[in-house]
Homo-oligomer: A and B are copies of this chain.
Amino acid sequence: MPKAPVMPVDPAGECAFAGTRCTRRRRVAILLFDEVEVLDFAGPFEVFAVARTALGDAAFDVMTVALEPGEVATRNGLRVVPGATTGSLEATDILVIPGGPGTRREMTNPQMLEFVGTASCSAELTLSVCTGALLLGAAGLLAGRSATTHWAAMGELEALDSGATLLPGSRVVDNGSLVVCAGVSAGIDGALHVVERLLGRPQAEATALAMEYDWTGFDRDGRPLVTAAS
């Protein structure tokens, strides 16, 4: 199984285009595969598609990508047609790796792991949701990073021996170029965090407002949703 090289982490996660200086429209590619969990990809899709720059322009071009052309059947049978295949995908700025039962098949698929590894390494930022972390781990991208996953899959991620430090209580773990989310709905919070980091707090708040999503960056007990990798 090919192992992708692990990019050096920039712990500060600084971006030359941050804040209102950003005029570049970033490309977001969301990976699809059979038995992907619907909200794992649809939550970040909504956040990135709705986000606007301070000038009011769409901040991201959001597309979906799969290994092969043709319909993908998600978990529970939503039929989605990917917008591109991995072979034809141009360089993407943000790569979203959702989870779902299909990750257990894809984490032993060399073609998938090669795509995840190479696309992640050339992207500015990779966001995993739920058991998408298993794909990152299997592709060798979690070595030396901090990670989380769906609470019910924490044992599987640990057993993968990926070299990650697991932070089971964290909803979103920020490693700079790699943002790792807990299960399903946590992808919404992870994507909003990426919007905040790249575009600034007012843009993240405007995105949440457009979605009528009650987001402050903290949970209802006042704990931050995001943990910086140690």
Give A contacts to B, CB under 8 Å: 37-39, 42-43, 45-46, 49-50, 62-64, 71, 75-83, 130, 150-151, 171, 182-186, 188, 210-214, 216, 219-220
Contacts and interface: CB of A to CB of B under 8 A. Distances in A.
Number of copies: 2
6 contacts: A38-B42, A42-B78, A46-B184, A62-B77, A184-B211, A214-B220
Contacts of A185: 188, 211-214
A120 to B, nearest CB: 22
Given A76-B62, A80-B79, A81-B81, A211 B39 contact: yes
Contact of A76 (B49, B80, B150, B214): B49
**8 A-B pairs closest in CB distance:** A42-B42, A183-B212, A49-B76, A79-B81, A39-B46, A185-B213, A184-B211, A220-B220
A73 B211 CA distance: 19
Contacts of A220: 214, 216, 220
B79 A45 contact: no
